Chains A and B, each alone.
Chain A
Amino acid sequence: MRKTLITTAAVLCTFLIVSVSLLAHHGNAEFNTDKTVTVKGAVTEWVWANPHCFLKFDEKTTDGDVRHWVVETSNPPGMINLGWNKYSFKPGDEITVTMHQVKDVKRPIGRAVRVVLANGKVLDTGRDDVTTGTAGGSESESYTK
């Protein structure tokens, strides 16, 4: 029930706010917004700057390699509105990032949908999981390469 409530709430909220409300600089032409990708890793750098903040982190792949990811968020004023700040991450923090990856999936680049810290704290970017707005129809998948 609780999970249903939260899921329904999240979906409805996306209908109640302008889905582009946090875009300050550019649209989503680069990204595949039909699905989300979730990656675990450790923060290497959190850049708090205009026109967009971006988070760099390393994923240890199953074959022993390290994949260097970079995901962007909105700008500092927009992120403050969402409860983020300059000190939200420090190098070494273990995080789980859900994102819209760029269309060229070989590139470890994306636009964050949310970040979950090791202590369970969830930092949301206010973006829909699926920007086509399909109610309850988000297609998430784990990215394990």
Chain B
Amino acid sequence: MANRFLAPMISLVAISIFAPDILCAQDRQPGAVYDRDRRGERPAPAPKHDISGTWEPAKGAGAGVQGKGAQSMVSCEYKVPGDPNSGFAHDPKAPVPDCLKPAQEPPYTALGRQALMSHIPTEGYRMVASALTNDPVPPCNPQGFPRIVLHNFRTSRIIQTPTNMVILYEFNKKWRVVWTDGRELPKNPEEPTWGEPDPPESRWWGYSVGKWADDYTFVAESNGFDDRTWLDNAGLPHSDAMHVEERYRRVDRDHLEMTITIDDPQMYAKPWIALDKFSLRLQSPNFDMREMECAPLETEEYNREFADPAAGRDTAK
């Protein structure tokens, strides 16, 4: 009888030690380096005024996916008794719908909650079948900023030039520019700006400017957004008055922390942090980012062959 319990116990201890490296290696972009690959390392000091490079979520390829919505990484965190470092899974005692709720709800205004309820998402506690959503992204509309980092942050590359930072995102193969040439964000939507003859138009990706707050911290500010985008896959809304602060702190040579703060008085009663010190790890200079493109041709086939029938719609065959 003792052996019956001894074997699982020994297994548990052994796997507790080795599982993150062996089994969870599947959560790995081939060629990428994660923190678990460099246990006990002493990273070199951070270079000054430099956040360039290819960055990957430090904890693993999937760590940048917030399926339940922004600010929800710790919702229903499971703690293995006696292991203060365990977590990340659903608490088996908690009902699934509760686990899908954010750990802390954003401070919605009445209009914000109304906008939230008008969104029918495929993730989070209000999720529906893929074919029943009104999410603009599945049919390949732009997810825009900051959704590109709040839902599915994958490998990204920052190119630093004398006048701007260009950020290349793997997810849906998108890019944006953060200007560092001293210009200011558009202030009045009715006045021309940035040397253009016409007033600024709302943009899916907004207008972005940035500067160094100190030797190791780069802060970007963005506004001028098109309010048809969502903040995340759970359907959190924003208005065209949203202002986003994007803070990058170079912790050491190999790590960059990213914090995103949403300030949108129309939708939220006060500014709130949507992503808090999310850790990124520097990859090799010759690391090749994959192509991940939203192609209507492929999406139509997917909907016809899978999503529609899965939701009970018989559009196929």
Which candidate, B20-28, B178-186, B211-219, B246-254, is the interface stretch facing chain A? B20-28
Closest residue to A76 on the B side, CB-wise?
B292
CA distance A133 to B292 in the complex (A): 29
Q: CB distance B92 to A82 under 8 Å?
A: no
The contact string, 1 if C-beta is below 8 Å from chain A, for chain B 40-80, is 00000000000000000000111101011000000000101
User: Of B202-210, B264-272, B275-283, B294-302, which binds chain A?
Assistant: B294-302
Total count of chain A residues near the partner, CB < 8 A: 56
- Closest chain A residue to B26 by CB distance? A82
Does A13 interact with chain B (Cβ within 8 Å)? yes
What residue of chain A has the Cβ atom nearest to residue B124's Cβ? A27
Contact of A107 with B292 at beta-carbon distance under 8 Å, contacts A5-B15, A18-B88, A47-B301 already known: no
List CB contacts (< 8 Å) of A5-59 with chain B: 5, 8-10, 12-31, 33, 47, 49-52, 54, 56
- Is the Cβ of B11 less than 8 Å from the Cβ of A83? no
Instruction: Assess the B122–A25 pair: CB atoms within 8 A.
Output: yes
- Contact A131–B96 (Cβ < 8 Å): yes
Q: Which of B15, B65, B90, B122 contacts A133 (CB 8 A)?
A: B90
| A8 touching B8, Cβ below 8 Å | yes
Residue numbers in A under 8 Å from B60 (CB-CB)? 17, 21
By the criterion CB–CB under 8 Å, are B27 and A21 in contact?
yes
Evaluate contact between B92 and A18: CB separation under 8 angstroms: no
Q: Please indicate which of the listed interface residues A8, A126, A134 has the most CB atoms of chain B within 10 Å of its own CB.
A: A8
Residues from chain A with a CB closer than 8 A to the CB of B309 are 70, 107, 109
Interface status of B30 (Cβ within 8 A of chain A)? yes
For B100, the chain A residues whose CB sits under 8 A away are 27
**Complex interface bits, B76-116 against A, C-beta within 8 A gives 1, otherwise 0:** 00101000001111111000100010000000000000000
Stretch at the interface among B125-133, B156-164, B189-197: B125-133
Which of A15, A23, A33 sits near B67, CB closer than 8 Å? A23
Tell me if A4 is interfacial: C-beta within 8 Å of chain B: yes
8 Å CB contact of A23 from B23, B65, B87, B154: B65
- Contact indicator A54/B23 (Cβ below 8 Å): no
B19 near A70: Cβ-Cβ < 8 Å: no
Cβ–Cβ contact B311 & A49, under 8 A: no
Instruction: Check if A81 is an interface residue, CB within 8 A of chain B.
Output: yes
B67 near A27 (CB under 8 angstroms)? yes
> In angstroms, how far is the closest chain A Cβ from the Cβ of B285?
20
Q: Does A91 contact B (CB under 8 A)?
A: no
Q: Are B88 and A15 interface neighbours, CB within 8 A? A: yes
> Which residues from chain B contact A76 at a C-beta distance below 8 Å?
290, 292
B14 at the interface (CB under 8 A from A): yes
User: Does residue B117 face the partner (Cβ distance < 8 Å to A)?
Assistant: no
Residues of chain B within 8 A (CB-CB) of A27 are 67, 100, 121-124, 127, 233
Chain A residues 84-128 with CB under 8 Å of chain B are: 102, 104, 107, 109, 124, 126
Besides the contacts A15-B87, A33-B96, what 14 more A-B pairs have beta carbons closer than 8 Å? A5-B14, A12-B16, A15-B78, A19-B89, A20-B123, A23-B123, A25-B138, A26-B123, A26-B233, A29-B128, A49-B301, A50-B299, A102-B310, A107-B312
Identify 23 residue pairs between A and B in the complex whose beta-carbon atoms are under 8 Å apart, listed by A's number: A1-B11, A5-B7, A10-B23, A12-B19, A15-B78, A16-B86, A20-B67, A26-B133, A26-B138, A33-B96, A51-B298, A56-B305, A70-B309, A75-B292, A77-B170, A78-B62, A80-B30, A81-B28, A81-B62, A131-B90, A132-B92, A134-B92, A137-B92
